[in-house]
């Protein structure tokens, strides 16, 4: 599943190509995603000016200015296997290309030079309309966004916050980190990597970890996420960013996917277990 760095990489790849361009046409080939694409989406979005693309957790928010004024935003989730990328309008349609946002050419308003194409083999992603007013309150109260925790790369997220939220929590710290109500976007790969860097055993109860160690963990989360974003995300199967390029963070992974191999810290064998149905890799010597 695309995690926060992959979604942020997609946003950065798309933004310079679509901001300031008007939507010429929306083509929906298959609306049967995790939730059906609204019937009104195409007519609402057509003719709108794309004013920017933002990210909240693993959601992309496409800001649109409607003709004659008014706001129409799109919330897009890539699901398990989705991708959103820029390509020429002449690009042949593939089996799982479900949505096209056809963009007007800047020099030729009636042209269809480029498209923003959504591909999703498993159809577990989703598209939602946000509007009609562009207010922070409306966005924050949307049912997909209202319960989300802070962004891990923001000032609102630090060790003191994690320590405060962990009080009395008896679940494993890895599961605690992957709870989107606690902090958004720390998926399985980056939880494994950050816990290893911080020297914390993923199965340790969240409520038994000290404030000092949470400071170290918050720093590790920020570092690993930022490092992955700079390297274009992690390509484990077929992830590519909005510009069609793969991510290379996989080459920097220290523990994830390396169960049974030597620990990069002490050369002991890394253990590979299942924790809440997710692959969990750790070193018994380096993590406690």
Show binding-site residues for DNA: 96, 122
Look at residue 160 and give its three-state secondary structure: helix
Packing angle, helices 4-18 and 211-230, rounded to 10: 40
DSSP string, 29-40: S---SSSPPPTT
Q: Give the torsion sign (CA, 37, 26, 238, 122).
A: positive
**Beta partners for residue 216, in sequence order:** none
Residue set of the binding site: 96, 122
Whether 117 is catalytic:
no
> Where does 104-249 show beta strands of DSSP type E?
114-119, 126-130
Q: Is 104 a catalytic residue?
A: no
Q: Find the catalytic residue in 22, 56, 58, 117.
A: 58
The one catalytic residue among 2, 5, 152, 202 = 2
Q: Within 10 Å of residue 16's Cβ, how many Cβ atoms?
A: 12
**CA dist., res. 75 & res. 144, Å (int):** 9
Q: Which of 21, 25, 222, 278 is catalytic?
A: 278
- Any catalytic annotation for residue 58? yes
Burial class (CB in 10 A: 0-12, 13-18, 19+), 192: buried
Residue 3 a catalytic site member = yes
Active site positions, annotated: 2-3, 58, 278
């Amino acid at each position: 599943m695309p995690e926060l760095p992959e979604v942020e990489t997609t946003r950065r790849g798309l933004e310079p190509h679509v901001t300031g361009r008007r939507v010429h046409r929306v083509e929906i080939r298959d609306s049967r995603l995790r939730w059906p694409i609204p019937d009104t989406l195409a007519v609402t979005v057509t003719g709108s000016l794309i004013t920017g693309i933002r990210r909240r957790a693993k959601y992309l928010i496409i800001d649109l200015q409607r003709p004659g004024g008014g706001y129409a935003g799109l919330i897009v989730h890539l699901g398990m296997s989705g991708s959103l990328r820029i390509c020429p309008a002449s690009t042949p349609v593939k089996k799982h290309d479900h949505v096209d946002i056809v963009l007007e050419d800047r020099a030729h308003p009636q042209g269809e030079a480029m498209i923003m194409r959504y591909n999703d083999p498993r159809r577990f992603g989703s598209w939602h309309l946000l509007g009609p007013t562009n207010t922070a309150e409306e966005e924050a109260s949307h049912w997909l966004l209202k319960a989300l925790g802070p962004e891990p790369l923001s000032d609102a997220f630090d060790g003191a916050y994690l320590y405060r939220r962990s009080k009395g929590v008896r679940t494993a710290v890895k599961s605690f980190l992957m709870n989107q109500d606690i902090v958004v976007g720390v998926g399985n790969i980056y939880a494994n990597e950050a816990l290893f860097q911080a020297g914390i055993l993923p199965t340790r109860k969240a409520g038994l970890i000290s404030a000092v160690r949470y400071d170290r963990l918050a720093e590790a989360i920020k570092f690993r996420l930022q490092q992955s974003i700079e390297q274009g995300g992690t390509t484990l199967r077929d992830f590519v960013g909005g510009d069609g390029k793969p991510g290379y963070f996989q080459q920097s992974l220290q523990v994830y996917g390396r169960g049974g191999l030597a620990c990069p810290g002490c050369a002991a064998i890394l253990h590979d277990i299942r924790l809440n149905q997710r692959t969990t890799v750790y070193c018994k010597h380096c993590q406690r």
